[in-house]
Structure 1
Amino acid sequence: MSAAPTRRSRQSAERGGRRAEMLAAMLLRLKGFSILASRHKTPLGEIDLVARRGRLVAFVEVKARAHHDAAIEAVTYGARRRIAAAAGLFLSRRRDLADCAMRYDIIAVAGWRLKHLPDAWRDGE
């Protein structure tokens, strides 16, 4: 059994998460996306990044771990359900996005290396 996280370790994890999200946003911008929202909180959950390119809206979960595989595996079924619910609420409040296609992406961050998994899952998976 591991000890409860200390205040310092939580702060360090928070800084690491913010850094990973900043890097992910930069990557998406390089790929032609505009960032519509960052750390968007809803009563149903939080979306790390909402990005748009043309008629495509991507709801992006960003995970930082020592290895890309560990980051990808950290996006659990429960997390996917929460993100999908939050995405539905986000879209319901943005009529300007009604004609856009949507997808769920994961950006795994390991150190300075980023791995983008477009269309990482579909609703109900």
Structure 2
Amino acid sequence: MDKALRGARAYKRGHLAEYIALVHLMLKGYRILGFRLKMPQGEIDILAQKGTRLAMVEVKQRRSHEEAFETVSSIQQERLWQVGLALQEKTPRLRRLDLTIDLYSVAPDRWPQHRINAFEKIDRF
């Protein structure tokens, strides 16, 4: 199979994983505030709110949930924090919410997994 075809299939699987995550989060009581939000600092797959928590949900489709977790590098985590903080700065009604980065992973033959606050905020000086 050529590289372009593999890439197209991965792209479709990724989009399917995002839609699965959207539906599952709504069923869990989350209010979806944004989907594939693009900002200068990066992109948020899903922005959702539940209570006082503002969740930036990173969605990964991988062979296992562990592999999905490991693919989010510390650089990507930092970028996600920067996107979230910039979004809160730009949107006054979001400032009062507790910002977290969640990981939603989809793996073959497994139930999807939603890790709340999967990546701790890195202390900044």
| Structure 2 residues without counterparts, runs of 5 or longer | none
| Superposition TM-score, scaled by structure 2 size | 0.89
1:104 CA displacement: 1.1
| Superposition TM-score, scaled by structure 1 size | 0.89
1:6 CA displacement: 2.1
1:12 CA displacement: 1.1
Alignment match, 2:121: 123
Q: CA RMSD in A?
A: 1.5
| Structure 1 residues without counterparts, runs of 5 or longer | none
1:62-88, CA deviations, whole angstroms, 9 ceiling, x for partnerless residues? 110011111111111111011111111
Aligned length: 121
Tell me the distance in 1 between the aligned counterparts of 2:121 and 2:61.
23
% identical equivalent positions: 31
Q: 4+ runs of 1 displaced by more than 6 Å? A: none
Match of 1:90 among 82, 87, 92: 87
Tell me the distance in 2 between the aligned counterparts of 1:87 and 1:116.
19
Structure with bigger strand share is 1
1:29-40 mapped onto 2 (5 Å cutoff): 29-40=26-37
Tell me the distance in 1 between the aligned counterparts of 2:103 and 2:66.
11
Alignment match, 2:111: 113
